[in-house]
Amino acid sequence: MPFSCSSVFSSCTRYFIGKAKVALTEILNIFFRSRCNSWKAKFKLFESICLSALLYGAEIWGVEKAEILETIQSSFLKYALNLPRCAANHIVRIEGNRVKIEFNIFKRALKFLTKLLEMENTRIPKIVWQKLVHINNLSEQNKGSNWASQLQRLMNKVDPNIRVNDLTADLIRENIQGWCDT
């Protein structure tokens, strides 16, 4: 996984999109060679091979990259549904009964945050999280690529009254299903 000092993760995004495109090509070849007509099999292969390659570690680097990552899922759905590339992505997702990639990333991020919040306060990831939350609370200008700020923007879409600095592992566990169903 490529890292960058800016925390913008553009190179990481390009890297995982490249991996997912290779995986998608392989999946499409499998479909063509096997003459697979089963929707269930197609989606299972897509999820297990392509999505796992695309979303590896996305709970950290992909929180604000969901729109770019969505192109992979849209490409797959358009092929699976035999639709032209110009078909509207939201219609394709509805027809394919799929949720946006952003949903998957949000759920992964909440699960990771739960583990992070349960760590002892002396662990480096927990210390970094506390520092990010502190920076998030200071000023508007420092919020750009801060992971706590990115999670806050996602959380605002679900419940604008919840602040990331108020989140606990128990609160996430109690509400994750409801938040992710929204």
> Using CA atoms, how far apart are residues 132 and 146, in angstroms rounded to an integer?
6
Does residue 3 fall inside a structural domain? no
> Using CA atoms, how far apart are residues 132 and 145, in angstroms rounded to an integer?
10
> Using CA atoms, how far apart are residues 126 and 119, in angstroms rounded to an integer?
6
> Using CA atoms, how far apart are residues 15 and 62, in angstroms rounded to an integer?
12
Does residue 122 fall inside a structural domain? yes
According to the model, what pLDDT value does residue 121 have? 94
Give the count of domains, the chain: 2
What average pLDDT is seen over the chain?
88
Residue 5 has pLDDT above 70, yes or no: no
Q: Is 151 exposed, middle or buried (0-12, 13-18, 19+ CB in 10 A)?
A: buried
Same-domain check for residues 56 and 120: no
Same-domain check for residues 53 and 130: no
Threshold 0.75, pTM exceeds: yes
Same-domain check for residues 79 and 127: no
User: How confident is the model over 129-159, as pLDDT tens digits?
Assistant: 999 998 888 866 555 678 898 899 889 888 8
Count CA within 13 A, CB hemisphere, residue 134.
Answer: 6
According to the model, what pLDDT value does residue 3 have? 63
Same-domain check for residues 111 and 139: yes
Does residue 1 fall inside a structural domain? no
Q: What is the domain extent for residue 131? A: 105-181
Does residue 92 fall inside a structural domain? yes
Same-domain check for residues 115 and 172: yes
Query: Which DSSP letter does residue 145 get?
Result: S
Residue 182 has pLDDT above 60, yes or no: no
